[in-house]
Amino acid sequence: MIANQDFPISEPPLPEPECRSLFLETPPVSPLAEADLEQIHLASMRVLEEIGMDFLEPRARKFMADAGAEVDGERVRLPRDLVAKAIATAPERFRMYAQSGAYCLEFGGNAVNFGSIASTPYCCDLKGGRRPGTMADMSNFVRLLDSLPEVRLICGYPVEPQDAPPETRHLDAIRAFLTLSDMPCHAYSLGETRIYDALEMIKRARGIGDAQFAARPSVFSIVNTSSPLRLDKPMAEGLMAMARAGQPVGVTPFTLSGAMSPITLAGALVQQNAEALAVIALVQLVNPGAPVLYGGFTSNVDMRSGSPAFGTPEYARAALVGGQLARRYKLPYRSSNVNASNAVDAQAAYESMTSLWAAMLAHGNLIMHGAGWLEGGLTSSFEKVVLDAEMYRNLEATLTPTAYETWRPDPQAIAQLTAATEALTETSFLPLEEAYEHWRPEPTVERASREAQRLIAEHGPRVLDADRLEALDAFIARRREEGGAEAA
Amino acid sequence: MIANQDFPISEPPLPEPECRSLFLETPPVSPLAEADLEQIHLASMRVLEEIGMDFLEPRARKFMADAGAEVDGERVRLPRDLVAKAIATAPERFRMYAQSGAYCLEFGGNAVNFGSIASTPYCCDLKGGRRPGTMADMSNFVRLLDSLPEVRLICGYPVEPQDAPPETRHLDAIRAFLTLSDMPCHAYSLGETRIYDALEMIKRARGIGDAQFAARPSVFSIVNTSSPLRLDKPMAEGLMAMARAGQPVGVTPFTLSGAMSPITLAGALVQQNAEALAVIALVQLVNPGAPVLYGGFTSNVDMRSGSPAFGTPEYARAALVGGQLARRYKLPYRSSNVNASNAVDAQAAYESMTSLWAAMLAHGNLIMHGAGWLEGGLTSSFEKVVLDAEMYRNLEATLTPTAYETWRPDPQAIAQLTAATEALTETSFLPLEEAYEHWRPEPTVERASREAQRLIAEHGPRVLDADRLEALDAFIARRREEGGAEAA
């Protein structure tokens, strides 16, 4: 239940639409013993009490001071009771809704939602190579992602549209989301203006008011800490605006073991937990009951180059332990599908499968960067979007029941091998590979390329009610005239 | 405990050497509910009682008739009590030993052992392309496999040495295993002569007698049924010779859903279970207590081409349920690392990671075809050996405890980010990939190729005691003179 302070819910409840999340039947994999998990919890509580965390936004510090935190300049020290009490008001499960309201997604428990890549400066495909992202590229990514039923959310700009001016980029990008796809989407917490703009645009496109929007959220924002132990002003502003509107906030420390975090995985996880819980506490102090996700993105630095490594065992283990921590606090969990490869090759696939299996086994309720991630997050690949959807589908089908759970086997069929009337699931949607003798080298990425081009070409615009489209475009025109948002 | 009929153990027990198996800390993943697993069990018992299975070797039928089975020509119908009583004598855990005795491997429970590819007609590398296997290729595979600590066993000919005459090929191949590697190895159950030859060669190379060999096995044999519901004569002969010598037998039905098995996964698993248990019962009737593995290799046919598909969700789910079945019968479990790709590309990697994760999560005690498999088992790839070892190492490190399980985190280190004295695990042994700007396309397979060439070039022969080598070669010379083994 979302107890929203600004917009009390008074309308009669709407009928609940179909839920399109995947619900896993296999229990989560929990690598740490309870006692060891408790050590991470206790150490992170000591960090928040004894060291504290910098909150650069004064209103955020005020919320925390009012709740009993010790504020010293920008530094805020949080007693463990304050943290426990605040995070206890966060819902264990919440739902997000399609912009049309036609379906919903659930976050929490055993529900999994596979999302898009986000926030890369570059994009690539076989035909055009690697290049800075444009609005045209971003729109094509949205078309492709929207065509794949595996992808359940747009988790940010699938590539940064660098040709759009920074002060109005958010208006153009959110418009593209709302006119090309019905999926729940993401707005960036780069100051409060961009969030307010996004919220207004979405309400207009949906034709709803604040109360219904709060009751049926359809946009979320990822808030990253500036590790170690700092929350910047633009992120805090976005967080507060989202929380007040009842829209979900995913809190994700980027704790890179060996860079902005201790070199041991234990230390990095303690830091992740301290930062995540402090910021989740802030969300709950702003609006008790507002939907929130516990995010884990802990990885390690490659000690030979100093670059972030992704899809490593350290990453996968941290993702699994992150799930355990989220379950301990009864919070929905966000994980990712990542790799450090430069190309859509074997390395990209096996690093992705390391992180994707871990995200699924951890019961990652939101799998950010699910489809398209390449090169440590610097590049979005059109071909990788298709292959990631295929990999996700493989795991979805592996970890959910098939016909034989309820089917009673007929031993006579085994002798005769005839009574085979049931259709076998087709598990691959890529065009079939030729036998070796007729085959040209390295076809997987080529097959994915053909599939991506076909899906983009066949994708039509989303039919938005004319009044709503007009209201949306009028708002955009006004905001563009006003100069858009300040630099973040 | 191995109660060996032919070679009673009377020597004093040897000190137990270091065990090099991986012991997983995470519990296995069991996708089926107990009641559904029981349905598979009950249906497979009905298959063995009502339909029965063909045993083409008369001595095998005699063992079963003596135990109470109903024999009708080649068809043997097995009462469920006979099966239950026979498989109950199989050990829940057993060990295999290095040829030198320097270390051992454990099979059963949470122990995992990653093995080599086996039995492919072709091999390939970047330099030489795809070609029929030769003894030179096979020996280079053994050198490469032996150089990688991840690989714990040689699971058959890493490529079929087609230039060696069929009647003496086993002599040449086993000699290559014994002089290039200390690892436990595999002998093919293609009639009893080849097995007797292998056993004699290994005893000579180890300088031990029958009793110690039975107490400390160092060679195993995979026995495949000719699905549906048939065990051929050469396989049964090999099985009986191995069981009497106390060497492990892995029983693996190749139940391909939609080809030699029902099109539903439930039906294929019922058939797998019936065939596996009937043949395991035979092993136990020949020598109660002989070490044995329950093997699962159930997959599906690609309905568009009729080819076997590998690394699919059907395959992965069958591998997980296979582990559940093996645990139900308290038998060690054999699984595999497979894919259907023609090249060492993204498809090869993600299909391998589908099957490899499933094998690990199923607690596959023996991971056959762990390193090198390509093209649905038609080709062994030198580059894939290196990449599979890397993938396995990723999962090994993900699923076993790291330092932080026992490490007490120091919160002060988080504020200062200084007390970072512990070395970070290096997780990748491939030469590091360049940043995108300095990088040439598709390097993963090239890096693997350089690594494979380096390891093969640097690999030296195994230093075998001169007397033992002489005894081994004298045996080979005599058997060669005698014309080797009959056609199988």
Contact at 8 Å (CB) between A186 and A142? Answer: no
At which residue do the structure tokens 């332990």 appear?
A: A321
Given this model, what pLDDT does residue A404 score?
A: 52
Q: B404 pLDDT exceeds 80?
A: no
ipTM of this complex prediction, to 2 decimal places: 0.91
Chain A residues with CB-CB distance to B228 below 8 A:
414-415, 417
Alpha carbon of A298: minimum distance to chain B alpha carbons (Å):
14
**Number of other CB atoms surrounding residue A165 within 10 Å:** 12
Residue type, A389: A
Given this model, what pLDDT does residue B36 score?
A: 86
Alpha carbon of A284: minimum distance to chain B alpha carbons (Å):
25
Contact across the interface for A436 and B398, Cβ inside 8 Å: no
**Of the partner residues B309, B313, B397, the one whose CB lies closest to the CB of residue A313:** B397
**Of the partner residues B26, B397, B444, the one whose CB lies closest to the CB of residue A346:** B444
Contact across the interface for A354 and B398, Cβ inside 8 Å: yes
For B37, the closest chain A residue by CA position comes to A405
Chain A residues with CB-CB distance to B406 below 8 A:
36
Contacts of B115 (CB under 8 A, 6+ apart): B151, B152, B153, B154, B155, B366, B367, B368, B369, B370, B371
Contacts of B285 (CB under 8 A, 6+ apart): B63, B64, B66, B67, B86
For A361, the closest chain B residue by CA position comes to B29
Alpha carbon of B131: minimum distance to chain A alpha carbons (Å):
12
**Of the partner residues A262, A346, A404, the one whose CB lies closest to the CB of residue B266:** A404
Contacts of A385 (CB under 8 A, 6+ apart): A116, A117, A141, A144, A145, A148, A371, A372, A452
Greater confidence, B12 or A400? A400
Chain A residues with CB-CB distance to B417 below 8 A:
228, 260-262
How many CA atoms within 13 Å lie on the side-chain side of B431? 12
Contact across the interface for A317 and B346, Cβ inside 8 Å: no
Instruction: Profile chain A (488 residues) by mean pLDDT over runs of 10 residues.
Output: 46 84 94 89 93 97 98 98 98 98 97 98 95 98 98 98 97 98 98 98 98 97 94 98 98 88 84 97 98 94 81 93 98 97 93 98 98 96 97 92 55 47 41 68 83 95 94 98 89
Chain A residues with CB-CB distance to B305 below 8 A:
432, 435
CA pair distance A221, A225, nearest whole angstrom: 13
Q: Is B434 left (phi over 0), alpha (psi -120 to 50) or beta?
A: beta
Q: B111 pLDDT exceeds 80?
A: yes
Given this model, what pLDDT does residue B2 score?
A: 42
Q: Which of A455-469, B9-23, B103-117, B333-347 has the lowest mean pLDDT?
A: B9-23
Chain A residues with CB-CB distance to B47 below 8 A:
411, 414-415
**Of the partner residues A379, A427, A442, the one whose CB lies closest to the CB of residue B314:** A427
Structure confidence by residue, pLDDT tens digits, B449-473: 999 999 999 999 999 999 999 999 9
**Number of other CB atoms surrounding residue B437 within 10 Å:** 7
Contacts of A113 (CB under 8 A, 6+ apart): A21, A22, A105, A106, A107, A152, A153, A365, A366, A367
Contact across the interface for B353 and A350, Cβ inside 8 Å: yes
Chain B residues with CB-CB distance to A298 below 8 A:
none
What is the mean pLDDT of the segment spanning B236-247? 98
Contact across the interface for A51 and B420, Cβ inside 8 Å: no
Instruction: Give the CA angle between residues A301, A307, A311 to the nearest 5°.
Output: 60
Given this model, what pLDDT does residue A382 score?
A: 98
Chain A residues with CB-CB distance to B267 below 8 A:
404, 409-410, 413-414, 420
Chain A residues with CB-CB distance to B426 below 8 A:
303-304
Contact across the interface for A43 and B411, Cβ inside 8 Å: yes
For A436, the closest chain B residue by CA position comes to B342
Structure confidence by residue, pLDDT tens digits, B28-87: 999 998 988 998 999 999 999 999 999 999 999 999 999 999 999 999 999 999 999 999
For B419, the closest chain A residue by CA position comes to A262
Which of the 8 DSSP states describes residue B438? Answer: G
Chain A residues with CB-CB distance to B274 below 8 A:
414
Structure confidence by residue, pLDDT tens digits, B120-177: 999 999 999 999 999 999 999 999 999 999 999 999 999 999 999 999 999 999 999 9
**Of the partner residues A46, A317, A441, the one whose CB lies closest to the CB of residue B402:** A317
Given this model, what pLDDT does residue A83 score?
A: 98
Chain B residues with CB-CB distance to A358 below 8 A:
398
Contact across the interface for B395 and A443, Cβ inside 8 Å: no
**Of the partner residues A31, A378, A407, the one whose CB lies closest to the CB of residue B25:** A31
Given this model, what pLDDT does residue B441 score?
A: 63
Structure confidence by residue, pLDDT tens digits, A375-386: 999 999 999 999
Q: Tell me the CATH number at B210.
A: 3.20.20.480
Chain B residues with CB-CB distance to A427 below 8 A:
300, 309, 312-314
β-pairing, B103-107 vs B366-371, is unpaired
Given this model, what pLDDT does residue B258 score?
A: 79
Alpha carbon of A241: minimum distance to chain B alpha carbons (Å):
30
Q: How is residue B19 written in tokens?
A: 């065990």
**Of the partner residues A39, A257, A378, the one whose CB lies closest to the CB of residue B409:** A39
At which residue do the structure tokens 């153990």 appear?
A: B9
Sheet strands side by side (includes B53-55): B70-72, B75-77, B53-55, B230-231
Instruction: Give the CA angle between residues A185, A190, A196 to the nearest 5°.
Output: 65
Chain A residues with CB-CB distance to B363 below 8 A:
none
Chain B residues with CB-CB distance to A353 below 8 A:
349-350, 353-354, 357
Chain A residues with CB-CB distance to B391 below 8 A:
350, 354
Q: What is the CA radius of gyration of chain B?
A: 23
Residue in B26, B53, B347 to test binding to A, most A beta-carbons within 10 Å: B347
Report the domain count for chain B: 1
CA pair distance B36, A405, nearest whole angstrom: 6
Contact across the interface for A346 and B349, Cβ inside 8 Å: yes
Contacts of B463 (CB under 8 A, 6+ apart): none
Which residue in A211, A286, A183, A181 sits closest to A242, CA to CA? A286
Complete DSSP assignment for A297-358: --EEE-TTT-PEE-SSHHHHHHHHHHHHHHHHTT--EEEE-----SSSSHHHHHHHHHHHHH
Which residue in B293, B368, B364 sits closest to B118, CA to CA? B368
Given this model, what pLDDT does residue A322 score?
A: 98
Contacts of A77 (CB under 8 A, 6+ apart): A48, A49, A50, A51, A52, A69, A70, A71
Given this model, what pLDDT does residue A437 score?
A: 75
**Of the partner residues B260, B346, B427, the one whose CB lies closest to the CB of residue A314:** B427
What is the span of the domain harbouring residue B420?
1-488
For A350, the closest chain B residue by CA position comes to B349
Contact across the interface for A350 and B345, Cβ inside 8 Å: no
CA pair distance B268, B265, nearest whole angstrom: 5
Given this model, what pLDDT does residue A236 score?
A: 98
**Of the partner residues B262, B343, B407, the one whose CB lies closest to the CB of residue A441:** B343
**Of the partner residues B229, B317, B402, the one whose CB lies closest to the CB of residue A402:** B317
Greater confidence, A257 or B420? A257
Sheet strands side by side (includes B129-132): B129-132, B122-125, B379-381, B373-374
